[in-house]
Amino acid sequence: MNRWLFFTACSALAPFAQAVTPAFDRPGIAVTTTTVPAGGIAWEQGLPDFVRDSRDGTSLRAYAANTNLRFGLSDTFELRLFGSPWNYQRLVTPQGRSSNKGYGDTGIGFKWAGPSTSKAFSWALLATASFATGEDDFSSGSTAYDVAASLGWAFDDSVSATLYADAGHQDGSNSYTISPSLGFALSERWAAFVEAGYTHAKGSPDNAVAGGGFTWMASERVQLDLSADFGVNAATPDVQGGFGVSIYFD
């Protein structure tokens, strides 16, 4: 199953978040360039996220209640805990059908928003470790480490861009992901984004996606999202994305 499903984060929408609420890190591949304010908590929940893929007579449908909890430790530093407490997958092959459910891996991360002398430019670093605590069908099988950087540019009040890069290490092998995205403020409450992503991992086929999504601020502290990325090459799942909610507490 593609790693993007379990480590989703948001695109280039940070400049459009209301002042009382930090920019949420879902939906999308990239992480925003801001952190949760000191003492604040952001709960980002998939309702659910999904992967669908069909090839060679086999069809996979997978769903995950991805959970990301972000805790503001200072004005520029946050702690995050993440996991997928509920997962379900259904596999159809020429030999028959099977389905199962269970819990997935858990992880911890730290995000730091770096200084900038320009109001139009921002950046952040994120380091995470994911532990193989999940059931067999929903676990990567070993500890995975990732270090990512996100660079953001606000062109004006309605258009921004993000460039995201991630380096991962697991089982002695490295992987690399890069993702550019564009964000658009459609109104005071609605925003949209488009993105592309490419991942190279030693010993595995390269994955490439393109897609986007929408967010809606239901209130000052509650955001709903809907997104989907589509596989560009044969090795990538046909579509992955989800519906989710993000809530800020202080």
Which pLDDT score, from 0 to 100, does residue 11 have?
41
Give Rg (Cα) of the chain.
17
Annotated domain spans of the chain: 3-249
Q: Are 215 and 13 in contact (CB under 8 A)?
A: yes
* Of 245, 235, 232, 244, the residue nearest 2 (C-alpha): 235
Give CA–CA dist 242/250, Å, rounded.
26
Of 73 and 2, the structure prediction assigns the larger pLDDT to 73
* Of 7, 150, 14, the residue nearest 68 (C-alpha): 7
Give CA–CA dist 107/144, Å, rounded.
9
* Chain segment 191-220, per-residue pLDDT in tens: 999 999 999 998 889 999 999 999 999 999
* Chain segment 157-191, per-residue pLDDT in tens: 899 999 999 999 999 999 999 999 999 999 999 99
Give domain 3-249's CATH architecture. Answer: Beta Barrel (2.40)
Q: What is the pTM for the complete model shown? A: 0.90
Q: How confident is the model at residue 20 (pLDDT cuts 50, 70, 90)?
A: low
